Structure 1
Amino acid sequence: MFFKALCIGICAVGIIFVYDAWKTALEVRKEQMEEDIINAWETRVVSPPVKFQRLHVGINSNIDLIVPGVMLLKALAIPSGRRENKDVLNTVDDLENTFAHFFAKGSAAERAFLDKKIFQRIVSTSKMLEIFQYHIGGNAAIMASIITEQFPEVKINFIGPVGPKLLEMLPTSLNIPTKSRISTDEVHLIMEYGVGETWGDLRSPVANRFITSYDESNSQATMLETFFESLDVQNTDLVLMSGLHILEGQSKDFFIKRIQALCNGLNNFPRSLPVHLELASMANADFVREILTKVVSKVSSLGLNEQELTFASLAGNGPHNSDFHHQSGPPEINKAGDMVIWLLQNYGQSSSNPESRLTRVHFHCLSYHIIGNLKGAWSNSAIAVAAGSRMAGKQACDVQKLNSSIVDLKFPSSFKAFSDDIERELDPNNPVISWEIGEFEFSLSPVLVCKDPQKTVGLGDSISGTGLMFSQYMLTSK
């Protein structure tokens, strides 16, 4: 009996030893893979032969008030809510339930408040917290700021509602016309949360943020006409636009009128001038359908994250559209690949749809990015997707250079790039995977996820802006 117990004990110790050794070996191998990916990016990410030099950027801008989301809800004496996604927010209960919905999923989202007094009360409470920060806000303003910091030689004309405090915060190198100035800053509330953070019985699977605002200037796209009037087509290489999502708080008639005004302006652009549209979180399927059917074919490039991609598929009856309702975290790679392919095939320029201008889609999520484009329309896309992926880690960690100790590879050991694909494996020394389908070509790169993220807001804008600046537009016909 003694020897039997001894044998069992020795076996148990042996199993623990082997398991620990195996686990350590896996961790060492993973860290080496992360180092290899970083080194591959450093040596292979190079600018295209012809770079964008003169940009016209708009139309949304504001001040972001960034706070710990759960801390704010506790300060407002709000208990953990039931998970319910609201298109717009009318009450504190709406904030509670919609935050809970996206907190549990770990998905970025943005919703407009319709009651000014309630929103102002929430902002006032935010300013009394131990931790709060002000940052440049608005997709367009963030893209302009990031690009001018990374590429100081680039000249940027910025159009958006710029109040006194935001004017002080924006880089002085930006050209901001007088018509863009407003007397009082628009404020957006950014409720951040960390990976594994708890609120009641909910736990966040990743670090992310929920955004809410009561915004009169951006929500009515008041700078839209100024944006088009101030554009010098002959002295512009690239146009960047965002802010359509904030129109969601308006009536359907108002939304449709502003979308039509946008389309009228875009119709006057020559096809030789590339236009990038950055989407952001929306909840009204009718509004998203309007953007898909009326706007997307009038821009050259589209940027969007997992919430926006899956909701676009839901609104447009695309592939895997039911996943929007239960998706938690990034979508499976093959599903995202299917949806990017669907966007290009259904809304993009092709032999069967030559009138469309859409030739590029840049999808970005926490653990990987995909760029798809019409063959011959863009070059340097494989490098651009790597540059965007690298920027995601640098921006989240708030560092100039990545190292394996601060990031985590959350990419599957084997995967399919799209549903009918072969099974693939990641080569860390060649961390960009490319493939072709019909008239389109695609590139995918993993992201090295920051272990202790310092910034979650504006990541998509930084990623898209960086990817564009490492891309070269090849269509020069008028």
Structure 2
Amino acid sequence: MLNDTLFSELVEASRDLPGNRWAVGGNAPVMAGRMATEGLAGNIVEEPDIHLILEYPSGASWGNYTSRRANRYIVHSDDHNPYLDSMAEFAKKLKDFDPDLLVVGGLQMMDNFPFRSGERDALLSRLADLLSSSSPQIGVHFEMASFVEESIMEDLLYYVIPYADSLGMNEQELPNLLSLLKGSNITVLSDPNPRVATVLDQMREVYRIINQRSKDSSAESDTNGAKAKPLTRLHVHTLAFQAMIVTRGSQWKNTMSATAKASLTANRHVCGSNDIDPNKARLIMDDSFSVSRREGSQRIPLQETRPVSCWDEEDYEICVAPVLVCTEVYQTAGGGDNISAAGLVLQI
């Protein structure tokens, strides 16, 4: 929103709306907040940027229109995050801090932002320098988001994804990434409730293509003088289930527990409660699922006493966990960040 005055008026008007609330937002603060909640603490920093989020439940009406699913609409006038303003200072701190994990998120703030020609490329190039020059012992997780502009997705394929050990995304972002990796256009709409077999096949293909690219570039250097890293962890969160692919022998541990933790966090965040109330939850995942859409694929039943299913394939392990879907929604914004962060906590 380029009209700062109008945005300020919207912020002021929102203060008096019944049921409104203020919460720390943004991909990085939300993921860091979840990690701190799970026992990993850091310095408290002030977040000055305001994002207005209008959340509405399934069945909500606006004039002649009725929502078929719970959703949200976000408006911001943020000039800081699109320019990655904290990156230079962060790079200085990173040298001495030597973390176990570096999380990259919030790059969707650069989507359709009115940059001058060449500005976004320059910013992402500096980010690529930061990621590629960090210690190989530092795990890098990139949390994707909803991108509309195809050119930024192409930039991410060049500047960010090659230097990430781990990727997190939802059921819409997965087919978008796969389409681009295969040389096609991104999809505007995708299935909001895909089958497990479909998601797993897409995950396998993303994993295979990215790692093949990494192998192909292993003897070469890109324009930054750095080599691509292999992808060793892929986490896809959907409304109905959580799925992870983790390379055997990689730095990521406790895959079954991490998948379960991500699933439970999905319910806790959306319901706004640390306690899971079975009366406010339902399973929408089928009683069994196929591990692939290929004919004759194994079918795995959902066991109540052991709901997380894990098995080995090729050089990786796959884990799938059903989600106890919250039926009394408190907040959906930040759901993916909380879910991904909860899974990462147990794997580093």
Deviation at 1:330, TM superposition (A): 2.7
Give the residue type in structure 2 aligned to 1:124.
Answer: E
Task: Find 2:175's aligned residue among 310, 325, 328.
Answer: 310
Tell me, yes or no, if the aligned pair for 1:297 and 1:348 is still in contact at 8 Å: no
Tell me, what secondary structure is at the counterpart of 1:428? coil
| Alignment of 1:365 onto 2:238 | yes
Deviation at 1:318, TM superposition (A): 7.2
Which residue does 1:244 correspond to in 2?
Answer: 107
Task: Find 2:267's aligned residue among 387, 393, 415.
Answer: 393
Which residue does 2:223 correspond to in 1?
Answer: none
CA separation of 1:233 and 1:155: change in aligned 2, threshold 3 A? farther
CA offsets, 1:444-464, max 9 Å, x none?
111001110112111111111
Which residue does 1:143 correspond to in 2?
Answer: 31
Gaps of 5+ in 1: 1-112, 157-173, 473-478
Deviation at 1:277, TM superposition (A): 1.5
Tell me, yes or no, if the aligned pair for 2:51 and 2:77 is still in contact at 8 Å: yes
CA separation of 1:370 and 1:250: change in aligned 2, threshold 3 A? farther
Tell me, what secondary structure is at the counterpart of 2:131? helix
| Alignment of 1:450 onto 2:326 | yes
CA separation of 1:417 and 1:114: change in aligned 2, threshold 3 A? farther
Tell me, what secondary structure is at the counterpart of 1:145? helix
Which residue does 2:225 correspond to in 1?
Answer: none
Tell me, yes or no, if the aligned pair for 1:349 and 1:358 is still in contact at 8 Å: no
Distance 1:343 1:150 in 2: 29
Deviation at 1:196, TM superposition (A): 2.4
CA separation of 1:372 and 1:397: change in aligned 2, threshold 3 A? same
Distance 1:367 1:201 in 2: 29
CA separation of 1:455 and 1:442: change in aligned 2, threshold 3 A? same
Tell me, what secondary structure is at the counterpart of 2:68? coil
Which residue does 2:207 correspond to in 1?
Answer: 344
Task: Find 1:279's aligned residue among 125, 129, 144.
Answer: 144
Which residue does 1:298 correspond to in 2?
Answer: 163
Which residue does 1:63 correspond to in 2?
Answer: none
Tell me, yes or no, if the aligned pair for 2:267 and 2:323 is still in contact at 8 Å: yes
Tell me, yes or no, if the aligned pair for 1:383 and 1:470 is still in contact at 8 Å: yes
Tell me, yes or no, if the aligned pair for 1:408 and 1:451 is still in contact at 8 Å: yes
Tell me, what secondary structure is at the counterpart of 1:304? strand
Which residue does 2:255 correspond to in 1?
Answer: 381
Which residue does 1:256 correspond to in 2?
Answer: 121
Distance 1:131 1:399 in 2: 17
Q: Relative to total residues, which structure has the larger helix share, 1 or 2?
A: 1
Tell me, yes or no, if the aligned pair for 1:368 and 1:389 is still in contact at 8 Å: yes
Which residue does 1:426 correspond to in 2?
Answer: 302
**Aligned-pair RMSD on alpha carbons?**
2.4
Tell me, yes or no, if the aligned pair for 2:34 and 2:338 is still in contact at 8 Å: yes
Deviation at 1:290, TM superposition (A): 1.3
Deviation at 1:133, TM superposition (A): 1.0
Deviation at 1:118, TM superposition (A): 3.9
Which residue does 1:92 correspond to in 2?
Answer: none
Distance 1:329 1:200 in 2: 24
Which residue does 2:288 correspond to in 1?
Answer: 414
Which residue does 1:461 correspond to in 2?
Answer: 337
Which residue does 2:224 correspond to in 1?
Answer: none
Tell me, what secondary structure is at the counterpart of 1:212? strand
Tell me, what secondary structure is at the counterpart of 1:348? helix
Distance 1:114 1:313 in 2: 33
CA offsets, 1:146-179, max 9 Å, x none?
211221xx342xxxxxxxxxxxxxxxxx254xxx
Tell me, what secondary structure is at the counterpart of 2:207? helix
Tell me, what secondary structure is at the counterpart of 1:135? coil
Tell me, what secondary structure is at the counterpart of 1:134? coil
Distance 1:318 1:448 in 2: 36
**1:78-117 to 2 correspondence within 5 Å?**
113-117=1-5
Give the residue type in structure 1 aligned to 2:256.
Answer: A
| Alignment of 1:439 onto 2:312 | no
Distance 2:91 2:307 in 1: 40
Distance 1:346 1:327 in 2: 21
Distance 1:256 1:128 in 2: 41
Give the residue type in structure 2 aligned to 1:209.
Answer: R
Which protein has the larger Cα radius of gyration, Structure 1 or Structure 2? 1
Distance 2:155 2:242 in 1: 26
| Alignment of 1:335 onto 2:210 | no
CA separation of 1:350 and 1:317: change in aligned 2, threshold 3 A? closer
Give aligned-pair identity as a percent.
27
CA offsets, 1:170-204, max 9 Å, x none?
xxxx254xxxx68xx21101110112223344433
Tell me, yes or no, if the aligned pair for 1:219 and 1:250 is still in contact at 8 Å: no
Which residue does 2:10 correspond to in 1?
Answer: 122
Distance 2:99 2:341 in 1: 16
Distance 1:422 1:114 in 2: 53
Tell me, what secondary structure is at the counterpart of 2:85? coil
Deviation at 1:351, TM superposition (A): 8.6
Give TM-score, length-normalised by structure 1. Answer: 0.65
Task: Find 2:51's aligned residue among 162, 170, 188.
Answer: 188
